[in-house]
Amino acid sequence: MLHPFSVKPIEIIFKQVDGLDIVMDVYLPATATKGNPVPVLLWWHGGGLLQVIIMSVVPHMLAAPEKHNLCLVSPDYRLAPQTRMPGILSDAKAAMDFLHSPAFQAETGGRVDVSRIVLTGSSAGGWLSLLAGTGVGFEACGLDIPRPVCGIAALYPITDLQDDFWKVKQRPVSYMDRIIEKSEVAEFLDPKAPKTSESRGDGMRAMFYHYMIQEGILSGLLLDGTGIPEDAFSVAQSLKSGKFSPPPIYIITGNQDGKVAHRQSLDVVAALKELGAGVDYHEIVADHSFDKEPIYRMESYYAFFGRVCKA
């Protein structure tokens, strides 16, 4: 995994598949001991499940282990369309399962309390946290539902492939001043291209998400050939079915977001309120990825983590 800052994690291989080592970065505070293990913030990066965004582990998260006395875990997952949604969710589940393994305890010296885990993620990573924390989409992919967690904290998440935002072409997208030519991303569009769980933030794959929005093709990139319907991954619709028992959920989104329509978060909040489930929603005047800016200290985010992980 690429490390954009000088903070160096423990890097652990938690899955080997398709000839790839799928790794997680583990950041531990100096205060963590075997006698005083710290809870886990398991965070998935964004990028539409298509790419790894540059500087994906933002400064407030890199500071969080020492500042908030927690273990930050940042796992990779294979990227679409070379890996479709079932493979991506299996990687997410593998990361969660690995935290409960003797190998993880050995790598971290028993300094992590895996009975206290909050799933989190930004954008598409926020979607993964909602899916893995509720179980939505796993049965459709032929996977067992992951074990329960203390909570979910989703940052400006994708939540619904059926939303018109993913289907109506934007030529160009609202935040760009040109059309992205297919030739610029052709190698990444090929589902038979080599599988990967990494992409350089400054490489051509960094244009892939914008091209996907431009052409309205997210659903096909994630699901073509699987036979799985889009609504299997619609968080709000699935929660309303009553088949899932969500843990406490925190969602924060910017209402000026040009890369993920923030109404998708509103739909999930409405569904949770309808169920009478716990939800802590925060909406600010900001664009996508706002939390990479130091002015956003994310106090409510870490306060939520502290509440649901209280020993």
The tokens for 14 are 């938690």
Q: What phi, psi does 239 have (nearest 5°)? A: -65, -40
Q: Are 4 and 55 in contact (CB under 8 A)?
A: yes
The tokens for 264 are 């998708």
Q: In angstroms, rounded to a whole number, what is the distance separating the alpha carbons of residues 199 and 51?
A: 6
Strand order in the sheet with 38-44: 10-17, 20-27, 71-75, 38-44, 112-122, 151-155, 249-254, 279-284
pTM: 0.96
Degrees to nearest 5, angle at CA 87 with 77 and 195: 65
Q: Are 264 and 158 in contact (CB under 8 A)?
A: yes
CA 281 to chain centre: 17
pLDDT at 310: 87
Mean of all residue pLDDT scores within the chain: 94
pLDDT tens, position by position, 106-128: 999 999 999 999 999 999 999 99
pLDDT at 233: 98
pLDDT tens, position by position, 251-296: 999 999 999 999 999 999 999 999 999 899 999 999 999 999 988 9
Neighbours of 181 (CB within 10 A): 10
pLDDT at 3: 43
Q: Which fold has domain 10-302?
A: Rossmann fold (3.40.50)
Position 29 pLDDT exceeds 60: yes
Q: In angstroms, rounded to a whole number, what is the distance separating the alpha carbons of residues 58 and 301?
A: 14
pLDDT at 278: 83
pLDDT at 53: 67
According to the 3-state scheme, what is the secondary structure of the chain?
CCCCCCCCCEEEEEEEECCEEEEEEEECCCCCCCCCCEEEEEEECCCCCCCCCCCCCCHHHHHHHHHHCCEEEEECCCCCCCCCHHHHHHHHHHHHHHHCCHHHHHHCCCCEEEEEEEEEEECHHHHHHHHHHHCCCCCCCCCCCCCCCCEEEEECCCCCCCCHHHCCCCCCCCCCCCCCCHHHHHHHHCCCCCCCCCCCCCCHHHHHHHHHHHHCCHHHHHHCCCCCCHHHHCHHHHHHCCCCCCCCEEEEEECCCCCCCCHHHHHHHHHHHHHCCCEEEEEECCCCCHHHCCCCCCHHHHHHHHHHCCC
